[in-house]
Amino acid sequence: MRSSDKNKSFTLWPYMIIVAMVCFMAYIAMFVYKAMNQDVDLVSKDYYEQEIKYQDQIEKVKRTQALGDVMLNYNQEAKSILLQLPATYKEKSLAGTITLFRPSDDAMDKKLPLQLGRDQSQLLEVQDLESGVWKVRVDFSDGKEAYYSEKTIQIK
């Protein structure tokens, strides 16, 4: 018998290292595949455009607070929101929108026209809204100046 036959013993270590590396690479590839197919939604579709216009938004909020802020009262039993503007807006002819914004799902957002009564109020029926946190955004104008108010409510 030759001495070279004695040194040729079979070992599994090289094969086990290769199998471990292949399994690790497959795990990383699966992780990357799942991460790339994950649906990542921003708070809103035009988030970056809204960020650029934010200074105008701050000025609108300051104007609104200077004339008296918008009051929002959620009535859980009636499933309605009462929007009340202060009397300082009474002489102004206002037009605008009310947005019911759901931070967790932008598909649930609703946009309504601002239709104030004689007492500067509007009743919003919200029985079809899902329970959870909602932001009520009131964006309106008198033709000269723009105003904005935002309140967070919890619908149960």
Q: Note whether residue 122 is domain-resident.
A: yes
* Segments in 9-138 forming alpha helices (H): 13-36, 47-52, 54-67
Q: Note whether residue 42 is domain-resident.
A: no
Is pLDDT of 5 > 60?
no
Residues 102 and 69 placed together within one structural domain of the fold: yes
Q: Note whether residue 41 is domain-resident.
A: no
Residues 52 and 32 placed together within one structural domain of the fold: no
Residues 62 and 131 placed together within one structural domain of the fold: yes
Residues 133 and 64 placed together within one structural domain of the fold: yes
Which token pair is 88?
A: 């300082």
Residues 119 and 69 placed together within one structural domain of the fold: yes
What CATH code is carried by the domain that includes residue 95?
Answer: 2.60.40.10
What is the pLDDT, as a whole number, of residue 24? 97
Beta bridge partners of 74: 81
| Closest residue by Cα to residue 90 from 115, 116, 113 | 116
Per the CB < 8 A criterion, the answer to whether 51 and 96 are in contact is no
Q: Note whether residue 88 is domain-resident.
A: yes
What is the pLDDT, as a whole number, of residue 29? 97
Residues 74 and 111 placed together within one structural domain of the fold: yes
- Residue 39 or residue 95, greater confidence: 95
Measured CA to CA, the distance from residue 152 to residue 138 in angstroms comes to 12
pLDDT in tens, 73-111: 888 888 888 989 888 878 778 889 999 998 888 788 889
**Percent of the residues in the chain that have a pLDDT greater than 90, as a whole number:** 20
Per the CB < 8 A criterion, the answer to whether 96 and 141 are in contact is yes
Q: Note whether residue 11 is domain-resident.
A: yes
Residues 9 and 71 placed together within one structural domain of the fold: no
* Number of domains composing the chain: 2
Which token pair is 78?
A: 């009636």
| Closest residue by Cα to residue 94 from 148, 55, 150, 137 | 148
Residues 17 and 60 placed together within one structural domain of the fold: no
Residues 140 and 66 placed together within one structural domain of the fold: yes
Residues 64 and 132 placed together within one structural domain of the fold: yes
Q: Which domain holds residue 86?
A: 47-155
Q: Note whether residue 103 is domain-resident.
A: yes
